[in-house]
Chains A and B, each alone.
Chain A
Amino acid sequence: MKYIKIALRNLSREKKRSFLLGGAIAFGLLIITIVNCASAGAVKAISENITKIADGHIFIQGQNKLESGNEVSSLADKEEILQIIDESGINVIKLNMRSEVRADLIFGDENTRSAISGMNWDREIDVKNGFRFKEGNLDEAIAEKYGIIINQKLAETLDVHLGDSIIAKVMTVTGQTNVGDFIVSGILEGTDMLSSMSSYANIDYINELLGLEKDDYQTIYIRLESLEVVDPAADKLYSLLGERFQMKERTDNSNVDLFSLAFKNDEAEWEGQRYSLTAVTEMVGILDQFVGVVDAVSFSVLILLFLIIIVGVANTFRMIMYDRVKEIGSMRAMGMQMWGVRSIFLFEGFFLSLAGAFSGIIIAGLIMFGLSFIDLGTDHAGAFFLNNGHLVFIPVVIPIIRNVLIVGLLTVLAVLFPANKAAKLDPAKAIAAMY
């Protein structure tokens, strides 16, 4: 207790020195804390963005291999699949059904390829609410039977405006080519990667183009209560479906090689009708790995940074020892044991790193709080990592505690050497010291 008090007073007596050393420690922890919280936040933002755009957590699709060898999209056993979902015990917040088609869109001399989601507008509340129109408005956009709602970027590529008529070339479920007209009924704001991926149309018209029945659909979108329950729910559903149907193998991203993924070709031979199940977490699984790498790199940087700081700490405390030689000598003469001298030094180092670490974390918190207010916009690829154009930070408690402990330990280790040296000073010589 008494040595803690002296250690604290010693720190306050060397204000400049304490401030510089503590500041260096604070800076290191500040950086690593922000990196950790930001990378965890980015993963969350990405997952949520995907969930928002897709309006679901788990997607079920079907494929049929025709005699010709062509694969067409087909959800032949939809009634049974819906029943399996219903009886699975999984807490489904919302089910949506969509038809999707990849189309060549043509306007004048321009053409481009885009996925078009056929939407049942009465059910797609969340997607509708998420729309921000650059041209047109929601009610008119969805009222138009042949309407297509496209993204600003696509509109620029095709050079179309509200009311323009564009031609869509698609392949029907039986493999025939079909052509239809769409009227641009709405243009959405945003040029970011996510929102420019998809266009929206009326499901009835898409079904018509695909050669499906009026009330048919191709993909089942399952919305669950939160991201956390997605993995177990997806596993369960996959095995339940597997008992009844031929299933496409799920991609397991938990141990894929980050660098070979792009070249992956996993297809085994298959025949007839099969189904695939995709969870939103599989899409971000790869990002979890990315975060792991970011964290590992930043952690190595932290260690490096702290090794440098540690050298500084060791050096400073060596200087402190020489500054206080006389004082140490007289304390020893007055009956302070060696361990007393040692503990004063160690407490000083400990409190210094503690104060530095906490101020670093607090400043990091303030910076992150401030940063999260900045609107970075959504019209760029980076918006993928943001929540409505805002940076997302998640307070990752365990890594932060780990960092504080490491810093505390390293500082105390750095002080240990000068502390021992101070404790072993010969009192007579120390008192006689001229410096």
Chain B
Amino acid sequence: MAIVELKNVHKKYPLGKTEVHAVQGVSFEITKGDFVSIAGPSGSGKSTTLNLIGCIDTATEGDVLINGINTKGLKDKVITNLRHDTLGFIFQSFNLIPVLNVYENIEFPLLLGSGKRGKRAEERDWIDHLIEEVGLADWRNHKSNELSGGQRQRVAIARALVTKPEIVLADEPTANLDSKTGEDILNLMKRINREQNTTFIFSTHDATIVEMADHIIRLKDGLIVKNERVSR
């Protein structure tokens, strides 16, 4: 079964008296453990599509299924729990919480769960493992404003992984980074994708980065122009 499934999804935004048809009937499936790229020029609907998968926005028409669950009409509380438990987010501008240090930023999603928290010691080991994994062991207690862009995005990656989500969404995770750093970040994501079998879905308009994906969905004007799974 596909971990993500979009069925004839439309998204229209009101814009003054008219509306913008950002996504105009998109259908695709994403397999668990894939490293998926949503590519396309500016304004093609990449962010909109990712927001719909991430359940932070709702489709005007069509269905979005996460793990076989149709998200249509769910209460905000349920959707929020779904986001917390199943999805991880990496943002273009990192969006770390400035008052928290590296460790606390990564820990943060664990504070938000509706269920019982795990054992503290286990949690700490897990967070420290993630810090190690993203190569920030020396920066554990630094505030986010003391970090470089690449380091911030590493924190964001660790934070997205801390709840052990099945899917990690990343909207242009490298857009605010130089190309070398961006490539490092993508390699890190890819490594984690392989090691932990976490599904990654990222958007980009950087051609070299697109090539690292094993499933590429190309959009243009809110429509899929190409949907190919590359086996490597």
| A337 & B80 in contact (Cβ 8 Å cutoff) | yes
| A431 & B56 in contact (Cβ 8 Å cutoff) | yes
Given that A330-B89, A332-B56, A335-B80 are known contacts, is A432 also in contact with B47, CB under 8 Å in the complex?
yes
Given that A326-B93, A340-B112, A431-B91 are known contacts, is A333 also in contact with B54, CB under 8 Å in the complex?
yes
- Inter-chain contacts of A409 with B (CB < 8 A): none
Among A12, A330, A335, the residue within 8 A (CB) of B113 is A335
| A6 & B80 in contact (Cβ 8 Å cutoff) | no
Complex CA gap A327/B105 in Å reads 12
| A334 & B109 in contact (Cβ 8 Å cutoff) | yes
Among A9, A340, A428, the residue within 8 A (CB) of B56 is A428
| B99 & A13 in contact (Cβ 8 Å cutoff) | yes
- Inter-chain contacts of A356 with B (CB < 8 A): none
| B98 & A334 in contact (Cβ 8 Å cutoff) | no
Q: A28: CB under 8 A from chain B?
A: no
| A336 & B57 in contact (Cβ 8 Å cutoff) | no
| B112 & A427 in contact (Cβ 8 Å cutoff) | no
| A338 & B93 in contact (Cβ 8 Å cutoff) | no
Docked complex: A3-53 residues within 8 A CB-CB of B: 6, 9-10, 12-13
| B56 & A6 in contact (Cβ 8 Å cutoff) | no
CB distance from A244 to the nearest CB of B (A): 79
Q: B95: CB under 8 A from chain A?
A: yes
| A335 & B81 in contact (Cβ 8 Å cutoff) | yes
Complex CA gap A427/B84 in Å reads 13
CB distance from B59 to the nearest CB of A (A): 12
| A338 & B76 in contact (Cβ 8 Å cutoff) | yes
Q: A2: CB under 8 A from chain B?
A: yes
| B77 & A335 in contact (Cβ 8 Å cutoff) | no
CB distance from B87 to the nearest CB of A (A): 8
- Inter-chain contacts of A337 with B (CB < 8 A): 76-77, 80, 112, 114
| A13 & B80 in contact (Cβ 8 Å cutoff) | no
- Inter-chain contacts of A6 with B (CB < 8 A): 97, 99-100
Complex CA gap A340/B77 in Å reads 11
CB distance from A55 to the nearest CB of B (A): 65
| B56 & A335 in contact (Cβ 8 Å cutoff) | no
| B76 & A10 in contact (Cβ 8 Å cutoff) | no
- Inter-chain contacts of B57 with A (CB < 8 A): 426-428
- Inter-chain contacts of B56 with A (CB < 8 A): 329, 332-333, 426-428, 431
- Inter-chain contacts of B89 with A (CB < 8 A): 330, 333-334
Complex CA gap A326/B94 in Å reads 10
Q: B85: CB under 8 A from chain A?
A: yes
Interface string of A406-430 (1 = CB under 8 A from B): 0000000000000000000011100
Q: B83: CB under 8 A from chain A?
A: yes
In this complex, the member of A326, A330, A338 whose beta carbon has the largest number of chain B beta carbons within 10 angstroms is A330
Docked complex: B6-25 residues within 8 A CB-CB of A: none
Q: B27: CB under 8 A from chain A?
A: no
Find the A residue at minimum CB distance from B113: A335
Docked complex: B53-96 residues within 8 A CB-CB of A: 54, 56-57, 76-77, 80-81, 83-85, 89, 91, 93, 95
Q: A90: CB under 8 A from chain B?
A: no
Q: A363: CB under 8 A from chain B?
A: no
Q: A331: CB under 8 A from chain B?
A: yes
- Inter-chain contacts of B76 with A (CB < 8 A): 337-338
Interface string of B137-164 (1 = CB under 8 A from A): 0000000000000000000000100010
Docked complex: A316-372 residues within 8 A CB-CB of B: 326-327, 329-338, 340
Complex CA gap A428/B100 in Å reads 23
Given that A335-B83, A335-B85 are known contacts, is A9 also in contact with B100, CB under 8 Å in the complex?
yes
| B112 & A336 in contact (Cβ 8 Å cutoff) | yes
CB distance from B173 to the nearest CB of A (A): 13
Complex CA gap A331/B83 in Å reads 11
Find the B residue at minimum CB distance from A1: B111
Complex CA gap A336/B89 in Å reads 13
Complex CA gap A337/B111 in Å reads 11
| B47 & A335 in contact (Cβ 8 Å cutoff) | no
Interface string of B101-114 (1 = CB under 8 A from A): 00000001101111
- Inter-chain contacts of A428 with B (CB < 8 A): 51, 56-57
Find the A residue at minimum CB distance from B171: A431
Interface string of A288-316 (1 = CB under 8 A from B): 00000000000000000000000000000
Complex CA gap A337/B114 in Å reads 9
- Inter-chain contacts of A432 with B (CB < 8 A): 47
| A331 & B97 in contact (Cβ 8 Å cutoff) | yes
Complex CA gap A9/B105 in Å reads 13
- Inter-chain contacts of A427 with B (CB < 8 A): 56-57
Among A327, A333, A338, the residue within 8 A (CB) of B97 is A327
CB distance from B95 to the nearest CB of A (A): 4
Given that A333-B83, A335-B83 are known contacts, is A13 also in contact with B98, CB under 8 Å in the complex?
yes
- Inter-chain contacts of B85 with A (CB < 8 A): 335
CB distance from A133 to the nearest CB of B (A): 68
| A335 & B99 in contact (Cβ 8 Å cutoff) | no
CB distance from B47 to the nearest CB of A (A): 7
A-B contact pairs, 13 of them (CB 8 A): A12-B99, A13-B99, A329-B95, A333-B89, A334-B108, A334-B112, A335-B81, A335-B83, A335-B84, A335-B85, A337-B112, A338-B77, A428-B51
- Other A-B contacts than A9-B100, A335-B112, 15 sampled, CB-CB below 8 A, are A6-B97, A9-B99, A326-B95, A327-B95, A331-B112, A333-B54, A334-B159, A335-B80, A335-B81, A335-B85, A335-B113, A338-B77, A426-B56, A427-B56, A432-B47
A residues apposed to B, CB below 8 Å: 2, 6, 9-10, 12-13, 326-327, 329-338, 340, 426-428, 431-432
B residues apposed to A, CB below 8 Å: 47, 51, 54, 56-57, 76-77, 80-81, 83-85, 89, 91, 93, 95, 97-100, 108-109, 111-114, 159, 163
9 cross-chain pairs, A with B, having the tightest CB-CB distances, nearest first:
A335-B84, A9-B99, A330-B95, A428-B57, A427-B56, A428-B51, A2-B111, A428-B56, A335-B112
